[in-house]
Amino acid sequence: MRAALLVTLVLVLAWPSRLRSVYGGKIVKTLPGFDGPLPFELETGYISVDDQDVVNLFYYFIKSERNPADDPVLYWIDGGPGCSALNGLAIELGPLRFDSENYNGEGLPRLLYWEESWTKVSSIVFVDWPAGTGFSYTKANPEDQWSDTKALEYLHVFIRKWFLEHPEFLSNPFYVSGESYGGKMLPIVTQEIMNGQETGAQPVLNLKGFLVGNPITFDKKYDEGTKVEFSHGMGLISDELYEDTKRSCGGEFVFPRNLRCKKCLDAMEKNLAGLHPDFILDKECGIDSPNPKRPAATDRFLISLKTDSLFLHQLRQKRCREYAYLLSKSWADNPIVQEALGVSKEWAGPWIRCNRYMKSVYSFDIPSAVPYYFNISLKGLRGLVYSGDHDLRANFFGTQAWIRSFHFPIVDDWRSWRVDGQVAGYTRTYAPGLTFATVKGAGHMAFVYKPQECRVMFERWISGLEL
C-alpha cells in the first residue's frame, strides 16, 4: 500500500512534464498473412511513458465494430509478466486468429477474421508491458523496468497519454480489463486512476468499472492455498488424501506445518503431475516460451523459431495449443510484419510471445492484489471476475475465497447462466456491483476454450444486463 501511495504522489507531481511527449499512431489497413483489407479499424503505435522518451510501450488499438463513438473502451492488461499484447489480439479475445489448421510450416501463417471478438461491442487497447515485452522497448537497461511498481507507474502514465492522443474517446465508458498476472496489476492500476482523478490528474477519464479473467492475485493464501480444495472437488485426489491433508495441515496448505502435512501435499502434487496447469483436460505438449530452467538449445529454438518441420508437425498432429503460440512467433518476428505494424527501428528484437527470462528476474514488490480489489469495489465501480472452471493455475476456489473475504452482501445468489439454452457457467452478484462467474469447461484464458460463451457473457455484462 505504501509503495502504491508513493507512486501516486510521484505521478501527481509529474503529470505536466510526463504528458508532453506522445508518439502518434499508425492506421493499419492491411496485414501480411491476411487476405484483403482488415474488416475492422486497427491502429498501432508507441507512447513514451517517461520524461526522456527512454521507455516506449507499444500498443494495438481496435475500434469497436458496432459504434465506436459511444461504445465502451477497454484497456487490456495481458499476463506474464512479460506476455505480449498480441496474445489478446490474435489468440484470445481480439478479432484475429492464426490459421493453425492449414499452416504447413512454410512462409507466414495466415490470419483469419474471428467472429467471437469482443471488439464487436467495444473498443480495446492492447499494450505490451513492461518494456522488453513484445515490441515495447527501453533505451536504458530493461531490467530496471521489471517490477510491479515500475509497471504500475508506466501503465498509469500510458493510459492518460493514450487518452490525450485520442480525446474523442474521453466521454466513452472506460473499463480496465485483463487476465492472469494482469489480474494482479489491474486493481492496482485502477486504484491509481481513481487516486489521480481525485487529485486533479488530466485528462479526466470516464472510468466505469473493471473486468478480469482467472486473476492471479499473488496472495499465496488464495492462489496456492486453495489447490487442495480444487483438486478434491475436481476428482484429482482421493477423499482419504483430502481428509488426511485437512487434518494434518490444519487448513494451512501453503507452508507445511509438520512432516505429515508435507507428505500429504507432496502426494497431492504427485497426483497433479502431468496435468496441464492452464486446463486440466488439455494435453501436455511442450513449452511455448523461453524458460531459464530448460536446456539452452530448446530456448534458442523457441526464440529464433528456426524451421523444424518435424517438431511443428508433431505439435500440429497432437492438436496442441502451443502450435498456435509458435505461429504467433513466426508471424511477429518477420520484418515485413514489423514494417506493416510500424515497429520502431530502435526496437532490437527478437519478438518473444512470453518472456520467461523477464519473469525470473522481475521484482514482485507489491505483495497482494486482494486489498486493491476490495478498495475499488467499495468505491462503486462495476466489476466482473470470471474463471474458467478447469484452470489449475488460478483456480476458481481461490477466486471465490478472496471475494467472500470482503463480506459483501449477496444480491443475486448462486445460479446458472446460459447461452443458447445451455448452461455456460454459474454466477453470483454482490451488493457493490461485483459479479463473479464461472465458465463451464474453460481453462486459464477462458475465451480460448469457450469463445462464444465468453463473448455473450461480456456483451451482457458490459450492457448492464444479467448474465
Enumerate the active-site residues.
180, 391, 444
Are the CB atoms for 357 and 128 separated by under 8 Å?
no
